């Protein structure tokens, strides 16, 4: 499922039945009773394939019992396809106009320039340290040739210098890659913000959950009295919380 829901319990039954005595349905109703008896209750159940018989039984038992425990709860049984359509409509409302995009581009470019400067300074520090180590290595060799230090001392110091140089090279490579990745992510975030609906509609179901988690912190879905209409609102993840409407 593409919504990002956490599946706690599944009841799966193949085939078609015209009776409420089907095993999976009875197992589900029994599970609801046990959870209620244990004081845990069930906040919400998503039924993937739903016929009239199952829906009536679900409304009469699970939601009826839930409404008694939480009288303010007005949420009705809802098909997962209806929820997916509601989330799809949420993406259709996401908007980043060209003017806002340009403002965003300027702000991101300013941050990127600052990050680039910081990265350049760190890289220069590493370069200076590397040059110092290379000079130390040269002096050690000269001292050994002049019989000022023995071979064991030379090997020990050379090992230390090599280890530090390797660490510096690794950190320099990581810094450079981080800067490249940040530039790429900024472009992706900007493009995704402007074309979120297109991205969502063109994304396979198994990747929509990841897209939801990237853009949104929480998605709230509410229904009217007879569950004929779903209303969807959301809070966004940074940095989209400050750039999307």
Query: Per-domain residue ranges for the chain?
Result: 1-77, 98-201
The alpha carbon of residue 223 and the mean position of all alpha carbons in its chain are separated, in whole angstroms, by 26
For residue range 85-124, list pLDDT tens digits in order.
888 888 888 877 667 777 777 777 777 788 888 888 888 9
Q: Which of 55-59, 71-75, 120-124 has the highest mean pLDDT?
A: 120-124
User: Would you state the pLDDT for residue 19?
Assistant: 53
Closest CA to 78 of 238, 233, 243, 232: 232
The alpha carbon of residue 236 and the mean position of all alpha carbons in its chain are separated, in whole angstroms, by 11
d(CA 206, CA 3): 9
For residue range 187-238, list pLDDT tens digits in order.
777 777 778 888 888 888 778 888 888 888 888 888 776 556 788 888 888 7
- The model's pTM: 0.44
């Amino acid at each position: 499922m593409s919504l990002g829901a956490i599946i706690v319990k599944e009841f799966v039954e193949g085939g078609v039945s015209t009776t409420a005595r089907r095993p999976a349905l009875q197992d589900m109703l029994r599970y609801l009773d046990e959870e209620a008896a244990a004081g845990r209750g069930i906040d919400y159940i998503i039924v993937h394939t739903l016929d009239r018989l199952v829906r009536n039984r679900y409304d009469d038992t699970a939601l009826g019992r839930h409404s008694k425990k939480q009288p303010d709860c007005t949420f009705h049984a809802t098909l997962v396809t209806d929820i997916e359509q509601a989330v799809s409509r949420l993406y259709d409302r996401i908007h980043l106009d060209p003017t806002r995009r340009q403002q965003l581009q300027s702000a991101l470019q300013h941050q990127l320039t600052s990050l680039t400067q910081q990265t350049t300074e760190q890289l220069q520090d590493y370069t200076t340290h590397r040059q110092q180590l290379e000079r130390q290595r040269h002096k050690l060799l000269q001292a050994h040739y002049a019989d000022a230090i023995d071979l064991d001392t030379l090997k020990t110091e050379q090992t230390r210098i090599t280890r530090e140089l390797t660490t510096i090279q690794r950190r320099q490579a990581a810094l450079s890659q981080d800067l490249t990745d940040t530039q790429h992510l900024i472009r992706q975030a900007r493009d995704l913000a402007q074309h979120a609906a297109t991205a969502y509609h063109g994304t396979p179901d198994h990747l929509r959950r990841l897209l939801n988690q990237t853009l949104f912190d929480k998605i709230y879905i509410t229904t009217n009295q007879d569950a004929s209409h779903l209303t969807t609102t959301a809070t966004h993840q940074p940095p989209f919380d400050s750039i999307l409407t």
